[in-house]
């Protein structure tokens, strides 16, 4: 079977793939373009796509009889794939849940600490050679220990973040989720997102993309307390970026920590010029161990398909 890997992956993953499939690895690190998306469906039996490879309904409409029968997505998020259109075309879709949970939760904590303690701003100050030395009121930030954190989306990643907040920092946990969760730590479910936003010191976004576009809009940002921080490790489009910029400019919230952006990789100049926002280049799963784990999980789905077995991680 011919397998297309749409981006370069760690060597152990590619070695494992070549042991089972006739593999073509696309060398570009950018998302598939118009013709490449269609070639993926016509020239290969299986495709291992990832973030940004936009398999929209239009792509499937342009390839009425696809050779490809599986999109084994490299990543837990799959909002770049129209799953309904894929299934209508006879193409299964899988993802890599679990493999990314701890690494993404760690980045959430990194952003929480960096934003609350003004770490990125301080690092820029030192590099600028304008730091005049320590003094008692220098760059006073928000002390996280014992504060109130709100988690938007209490799935695997949301729970991993909440555990770190509760057990590591003694934080009180509240959350907004479609359904109640049975948890191994104390947490309060709030009925509305506005109520959650208005009651917490840190609001962390951990929902999937897609139908959650602009879930965090001006109403939610206006509900937040002036000292509170917004953290987004989910998908960029979940936050209305223009509304966030205005809230940060006006000092309506204390700060923000972002690992994802609405029009990624474009980050608006207005956002980059603000000192009260920490900006990371989508580092959520960026460790070698995790990326290898993600790759092997994607390959497990491809191998199951090859062997006529049930997919381990269908979506």
Clarify whether 26 is annotated catalytic. no
Clarify whether 191 is annotated catalytic. no
Here the tokens at position 129 are 């050679």
| pLDDT at residue number 231 | 98
CB 264 within 8 A of CB 238: no
Catalytic residue among 26, 214, 227, 282: 282
Please report where in the chains the tokens 């948890």 appear, as a residue. 183
Distance, in Å, from the CA atom of 298 to the CA atom of 49, rounded to the nearest integer, reads 10
Q: Left if phi > 0, otherwise alpha if psi is -120 to 50, otherwise beta: which for 121?
A: alpha
| pLDDT at residue number 312 | 97
CATH number for the domain harbouring residue 27: 3.40.50.720
- The predicted-structure confidence for 11-32, as pLDDT tens digits, reads as follows 999 999 999 999 999 999 999 9
**Does 158 lie in the same domain as 138?**
yes
In-domain check, residue 114: yes
- The predicted-structure confidence for 175-218, as pLDDT tens digits, reads as follows 999 999 999 999 999 999 999 999 999 999 999 888 899 999 99
Catalytic residue among 20, 36, 246, 264: 264
**Does 62 lie in the same domain as 157?**
no
Distance, in Å, from the CA atom of 160 to the CA atom of 154, rounded to the nearest integer, reads 9
Catalytic residue among 164, 235, 237, 291: 235
**Does 254 lie in the same domain as 126?**
yes
**Does 94 lie in the same domain as 118?**
no
**Does 275 lie in the same domain as 259?**
yes
- Rg for the chain (alpha carbons), in Å? 21
Question: Which domain covers residue 180, as residue numbers?
Answer: 101-279
Q: Is the whole model's pTM more than 0.95, yes or no? A: no
| pLDDT at residue number 209 | 86
CA angle 54, 57, 62 (to 5 degrees): 95
In-domain check, residue 293: yes
**Does 70 lie in the same domain as 124?**
no
**Does 269 lie in the same domain as 223?**
yes
In-domain check, residue 313: no
| pLDDT at residue number 210 | 83
Closest CA to 244 of 211, 219, 208: 219
**Does 161 lie in the same domain as 47?**
no
Distance, in Å, from the CA atom of 302 to the CA atom of 62, rounded to the nearest integer, reads 24
Residues of the chain scoring pLDDT < 70: none
Clarify whether 264 is annotated catalytic. yes
Domain count, the chain: 2
CB 197 within 8 A of CB 150: yes
In-domain check, residue 263: yes
């Amino acid at each position: 079977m011919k397998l297309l890997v749409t981006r370069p992956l760690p060597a152990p993953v590619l070695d494992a793939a070549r042991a089972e499939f006739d593999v073509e690895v696309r060398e570009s690190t950018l998302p598939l373009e118009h013709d490449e998306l269609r070639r993926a469906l016509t020239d290969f039996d299986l495709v291992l796509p990832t973030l940004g490879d936009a398999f929209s309904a239009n792509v499937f409409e342009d390839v009425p009889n696809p050779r490809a029968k599986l999109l084994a997505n490299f990543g837990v998020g799959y909002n770049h794939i129209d799953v309904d259109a894929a299934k209508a075309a006879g193409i299964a879709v899988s993802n890599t849940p679990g493999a990314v949970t701890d690494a993404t939760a760690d980045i959430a904590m990194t952003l929480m600490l960096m934003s609350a303690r003004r770490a990125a701003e301080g690092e820029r100050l030192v590099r600028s050679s304008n730091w005049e030395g320590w003094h008692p009121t220098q760059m006073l930030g928000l002390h996280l220990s014992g504060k109130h954190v709100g988690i938007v989306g209490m799935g695997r990643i949301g729970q991993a973040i909440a555990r770190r907040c509760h057990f590591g920092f003694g934080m009180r946990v509240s959350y907004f989720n479609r359904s109640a969760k049975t948890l191994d730590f104390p947490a309060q479910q709030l009925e509305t997102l506005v109520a959650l936003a208005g009651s917490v010191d840190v609001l962390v976004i951990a929902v999937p993309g897609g139908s959650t576009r602009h879930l965090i809009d001006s109403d939610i940002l206006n509900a937040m307390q002036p000292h509170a921080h917004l953290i987004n490790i989910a998908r960029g489009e979940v936050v209305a970026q223009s509304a966030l910029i205005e809230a940060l400019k006006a000092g309506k919230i204390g700060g923000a920590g972002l690992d994802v952006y609405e029009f990624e990789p474009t980050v608006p100049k207005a956002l980059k010029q603000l000192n009260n926002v920490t900006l990371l280049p989508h580092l959520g799963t960026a460790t070698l161990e995790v990326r290898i784990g993600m790759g092997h999980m994607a390959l497990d789905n491809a191998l199951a398909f090859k062997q006529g077995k049930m997919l381990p991680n269908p979506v």
